[in-house]
Chain A
């Protein structure tokens, strides 16, 4: 890929594998679904704002699950919300990824002793990256996004699943 930095006199050719090229595009166009459930949602907005600027990693917020690759569950999931989270996750097209943002989303956190709080969003949907913090700073969410990108780049998506 270093050759891309040099200007070509003529049309150039880049040799790579299909997996690498595909993963390169997938990892750098992660559309994440807006899922601000509590105060972590404010921190997620900060990350998407000009300072955190998640857009420079190709991650753009989408308001619809059908156009999203990544769900950032930001905040306390209540039992009432749990079935909604599941429905929205099911509506996302494959391949899809989930970041569980903050202590509440990971385990129930501070509100775990409550009667209506789900003990972690992983009881409803599979989670790829658990991000601790109450709430995590924008830098931490950016690190979680980079972790998702690393995961995507390591996948061999087109190969037959055994």
Chain B
């Protein structure tokens, strides 16, 4: 199926408002956080869509919000679709899809670790890569690098500063 057919099939499968956005990387289906779980469930369980694989789940901090992306693939029909959802920067919440795709477990933990999005219903939402006592979420644009960590002085040296871009 091409993206237009996927869009129509998706609109027929759920009641939620779905917006089709297109940028240089291709077509994405934008949904509200309230409808995210239902849309993703329809993507997996609708026989026309049948997206049995969650290839990737990630997020980007753009302006004052975090854009979540769910890249889905169907091995039955060999089509790919991307679901996009915008959550606010502070107190952003999205439903967890671990019960649909168990592989989402670590992907959501990574998004939580680096961007600070809370996934409600996740079985074990804690940091996956950074230490547990780390402060902040580094992939946010307003993140300030730590100068000290556990008593270790990690401020850049004078030589380093001379190489840094002003």
Contacts and interface: CB of A to CB of B under 8 A. Distances in A.
Nearest to A113: B164
Given A80-B131, A112-B160, A119 B150 contact: no
Given A116-B138, A119-B157, A119-B160, A82 B150 contact: yes
Bin chain B's interface residue count.
Answer: 10 to 19
Interface string A81-122: 011000000000000000000000001100010011011100
Main secondary structure of the interface of A (DSSP, over half): loop
B123 interface: no
Interface string B147-165: 0011011111101100000
Given A112-B160, A116-B130, A119-B157, A79 B152 contact: yes
Interface residues of A, number: 14
A118 B154 contact: yes
Nearest to A124: B152
Contacts of B143: 115
A123 interface: yes
Contacts of A124: 152
21 contacts: A79-B131, A79-B150, A79-B154, A82-B149, A82-B150, A107-B157, A107-B159, A112-B156, A112-B160, A115-B145, A115-B146, A116-B138, A118-B152, A118-B154, A119-B154, A119-B157, A119-B160, A123-B152, A123-B153, A123-B154, A124-B152
